[in-house]
Amino acid sequence: MAMFVHLTSAANAPRIRRSGIRAVGHGQGRARGVYCFPVLPSYTLTHQWLRELARFGSRGGLVAVHVRLDDAEDVLVGRYTDRAREAQAAVPAAESVRRIAALDDPRGWEVFVPRAIRPREVHRIRSAPQVVGWRFLPDAHGVRPCTCFGCRVRGGYGARRLRERLPHPLDGPPPPVTVLLARVEAGDPGDTAALRETLHWFGMRRRGPVDRLRGLAAHPDPGVREDLVWAVARWSTPGVTELLDGLADDPHPDVREAVEAVRDPG
């Protein structure tokens, strides 16, 4: 029997003892299952994912759930970067342990079980130190962090100070809202390039002045109207749904396709 460790919130421990581990993680191809890692001689490597998973919050800290799987059961094994390319290999559980144990550097590797874990397969649950492992990615320590919109963690510890210390040339920190609104209201139709840049900055916010931007839905440039869709799509501000409803009937196909894309990202 192959032994693996699954890291989860301590609050889930009673439920796992009672009914096993739910298949909630999405693997390649959006398959549902459970992520885990082989139990290796190195305690640090076995629990390498602790600090990275702790960044996303946990109730009562994280615990290590040891799981026994049949050696012949098929699992997916690969580096986390292989997941998006659907390049993780389907192998028996025992082979996944052998492959990872043979690597010179198994950091960032993972095993995905494409099903739920049954209660009888849970070997034990124990506490785990919360300071083991890497954060962000292996070897990230000492590397200048990227503050672009795609890489940064919104709401993370020290995120605002990091953006102020290492501003990204395209992704901020953005100008104050008053400055952005002044650009929008400078004229009609105004400078198209300036308006599109302004909408780029607005798109990095969680909320925004929908009523003050609503007039751009009638802007003569379809590029401005399309950028308006992308800017407000993630906002939680009341009025966004109604604004997108109006843009869904825009005469330009690029604007209509943008509305479809933000409403059905899958």
pLDDT over 90 percentage in the chain: 51
Q: Which residue has the higher pLDDT, 32 or 47?
A: 47
* Neighbour-count burial of 92, counting CB atoms closer than 10 A to its CB (0-12 exposed, 13-18 middle, 19+ buried): middle
pLDDT over 70 percentage in the chain: 91
Quote the pLDDT of residue 158: 75
CB atoms within 10 A of CB 43: 12
pTM above 0.75, yes or no: no
Per-residue pLDDT tens for 138-148?
A: 877 777 777 77
pLDDT at 153 over 70: no
Domain ranges (residues) in the chain: 2-127, 144-173, 175-263
Fold annotation for 175-263 = Leucine-rich Repeat Variant (1.25.10)
Quote the pLDDT of residue 172: 66
Pick 2-127's CATH classification: 1.10.1760, 1.20.140, 3.20.170, 3.40.50.
3.20.170
Read off the pLDDT band of 154 (50, 70, 90): low
Residue with tokens 């549902």: 32
Residue with tokens 């962090």: 145
Per-residue pLDDT tens for 79-116?
A: 998 887 788 999 999 999 999 999 999 999 999 999 99
Quote the pLDDT of residue 150: 62
Read off the pLDDT band of 157 (50, 70, 90): low
